[in-house]
Chain A
C-alpha cells in the first residue's frame, strides 16, 4: 500500500513539476525583451549605412521609450538631419522636420534614414508587444523562436529569432513576409555591460536580399533606465525632445 502511495505521489509530482522544466516561448520572449532594454529607458544610437564600395553615411540618435508602446527618437547628427524627430505610439508613427514645422504621419515600412533599416527597426517596440510565439525549437546552444505578428499593422509578419540559451539574448533575427519571403536579417553582436544591470549586444548589423551588397549597422551607447511623463510622447513635444538630454 505504501509503495502504491509513494508511486502515486511521485507520479503526481512529476506531472505537477513537468511544465516548470519546459521552456515557455512567450516567457522567453518577454525575458529577451527585458534583457535587451529596460521597459523605460533613454539611449544613444549611431546608424551607419554602408554601400558595397565601403562608402558610409552616419546618423546619431537620442531615443527615449516608455512602457510597451511609446518611443521617440531625435536626430543629433548629421547637420542635415539635426532636430528631426520621430515618435511612435503603438501603430502610429510621425516624423517632425524642423523646416516643415509640423509632425507628419509616416508608415513603419518607410525609412527616415534610407538604407536597410526602416522606421519599425529604428522605433522598435518590445517584440512581445507585437508578436505571438507560434513555435519554439532548440538547437545546440540556441533556442529558435517562430514569431507571428499580432496584427497586420506590424512591419514584418513573421520573425525567426535565434536566442542564446545562457544569456537569453537574440543572436540573429530573420524578418519575413506572410509568404515567408526573407526581407532582412539582423545580427546581434559585441556584448557589452552598459551599467545598471544591462548587458546586451552593442551592435546590430543588418543586410537584406532586397539591397544586395548594402548593409546597415546600429551601435548602442549609454542605455539607462529612466522614467518619463506620458506627455513626452506626444506630437506637441516632438520639437522639444532635446530638452530631455
Chain B
C-alpha cells in the first residue's frame, strides 16, 4: 500500500531527521581530548537534591478511515489522512534528607498540541516522607508508586499501581497516596532475604479517586523471599475499593545471560461489563486468573530478547470484541443515515476504562529484540518490539533506534505498524502507522 505524505508530514519527517542527524554527528566535534580526572567534589554528599527531565515528542499518525475506532473518534469531523501531535513533558524531582528522615517529590507536566487543540496537565507523580530508623525498617507516607510484579510488558499482580503501557513499559507512572512500611531481614543459607511490605491505601472523594470505589480503607501486602537464588513475591489486596485479589511472582537467573520470570493474579468476584452488537449491556462476575511467563536472554553478539506470554483473565473474548466493533459500525451507519449519534456516544462511554484499556483481550505475546551497539557504535541501540494478540491474530510491530551518545540526552526514533483484519483489536485501531521522535534531556 502506498501512502502519500502531506506537506505537513514531510516537514515533520525532515525536521526529525535533521535533529537526529545533528545529534549523532555533532558530539564528536564537541568532545576534544581530555585527561582522565576524578574531581573528588563530585563525591561530596549534599542533604538536598534537585533535578529533572524535559522531553519533546512529536508524533505523526497515518489514519485508517475504515477502522471502527477511527469512526468512533472522528465520525463528525474530517482530519485528513495524517494527524500530528506535539507532546512536551517536564518532570521535576527533589529530595531533602536529614538523619533518618527523607522527603522526596516528583512532579509531571504533560502538554499536548493536537487536532483537539492544546491540553496541559500537571500533577505530583510522587511526594512522600520516609523514616528509616535502621537498614531493616522503613516507613513511607504520601504519594508513591510500588511497581509490584516481575513482568516487563504487563504486571497482572501490580494491584496498587496504575497499569503500564506495554508499548513503553519504562515510562514513569503516577502513584497513589498511602502509608507503607518495609521490614527486611537477611540470612545465611538457602533463604537469603525475607521482606514484608504492608500498605494502607484510603480512597475518598478527595484522594485516590481513580483507585476504585470510594470510602474504603484498603490493605495490601507483599512478602518477598530470595530463596535458592530465586526472587519470590506473594501479594494481596483487600478492603472494598477493588475486589479482594491474591498474587505471586518469581524471577531467577538460569545462566549468566538468561533470566526467567512469571507472575500470577487471582481476582475474586471480578465484574465485567460488555455490549452485544444490538447495544444491550451485559455484566458477569467470576473469579479471574491472569498470569504471565517471560524470559530475557542475551546472546554472545549482545542481542537481548525479552519474550512474554500474558493471559489476561479479566479480558474480553474474541466474540465480545467483535460485537463491540459491530455496534460501533452500526452506530456509524445510523449516524450517516440519520445524523443520530446516540449509539456512538454510548460506545464512547463504554470504551473508556473498558474496551479502551491497553490490551483488552485474553492472550498476548510480547517480543522485544534489542541489539546493543551494532557495528561497534557505542550508545546506539536499535530495537524492534511486537505485541501479538493470540485471540484474533492481529499485532503491532515497532522498530526503533535509541542514541545516548551525548551525556544526559536520549534520542529515540520509533515507528509503529499495525496489522490486523476487520473486527480485530489492532485492525480496528484509528491509525495504520505512526512515527514518533523523542528527545529527552536529564538535568
- Note all chain B residues with C-beta closer than 8 A to A219: 36, 38
Alpha-carbon separation in the docked complex, A48 to B185 (Å):
36
List A contacts of B51 (CB < 8 A).
79, 82
Q: Is the CB of B253 within 8 A of A92?
A: yes
Given A78-B407, A236-B195, the answer on whether A105 and B259 have CB atoms closer than 8 Å is yes
Contact of A78 among B150, B187, B442 (CB under 8 A): B442
Instruction: Tally the A-B contacts, defined by beta carbons under 8 Å.
Output: 170
Residue of A nearest to B406 (CB): A57
User: Given known contacts A99-B171, A99-B172, A100-B147, is B195 in contact with A235 (CB within 8 Å)?
Assistant: yes
Known A101-B147, A114-B373, A235-B195; contact A57-B132, beta-carbon cutoff 8 A: no
Q: In the complex, what residues of A have CB within 8 A of residue B229's CB? A: 90-92
Q: What 0/1 readout, one digit per residue, does chain B (213-231) give for beta carbons within 8 Å of chain A?
A: 0000000000010100101
Query: What sequence of 0s and 1s flags, for each residue 117-142 of chain B, a beta carbon within 8 Å of any chain A beta carbon?
Result: 00000000000000010111010000
Pick from A79, A107, A110, A211: contact of B442, CB under 8 Å: A79
Residues of A within 8 A of B (CB-CB), count? 67
Are A105 and B252 interface neighbours, CB within 8 A?
yes
In which size bucket is the chain B interface?
A: 35 or more
- The residues of B that contact A90 with a CB separation of less than 8 Å are 229
* Cβ-defined contact, A102 with B253, below 8 A: no
B258 within 8 A of A: yes
- Asked if A101 meets B256 with Cβ closer than 8 Å, knowing A79-B442, A79-B443, the reply is no
B36 touching A93 by the CB < 8 A rule? Answer: no
In the complex, per-residue mask of A159-197: 1 if CB is within 8 Å of any chain B CB, else 0: 000000000000000000000000000000000000000
- List residues of chain B with CB within 8 A of the CB of A222: 40, 43
What 1/0 mask marks residues of chain B from 126 to 168 whose CB sits below 8 Å from any chain A CB? 0000001011101000000111111010000000000000000
Complex Cα–Cα for A78 and B379 (A): 15
**Whole-angstrom distance between the Cβ of A70 and the nearest chain B Cβ:** 9
B166-198 residues at the A interface, CB under 8 angstroms = 169-173, 182, 184-187, 192-193, 195, 197
Q: List 30 A-B contacts (CB under 8 A).
A: A51-B28, A56-B31, A58-B407, A91-B229, A92-B229, A93-B253, A101-B172, A102-B147, A105-B251, A105-B253, A105-B261, A105-B296, A107-B296, A107-B298, A108-B256, A108-B257, A115-B378, A152-B255, A153-B255, A212-B376, A214-B378, A217-B36, A219-B38, A221-B40, A222-B43, A231-B185, A234-B195, A236-B197, A236-B224, A243-B97
Of all A-B residue pairs in the complex, the 9 with the closest CB atoms, nearest first, are A230-B186, A101-B147, A55-B31, A102-B147, A80-B442, A79-B442, A231-B135, A99-B172, A54-B33
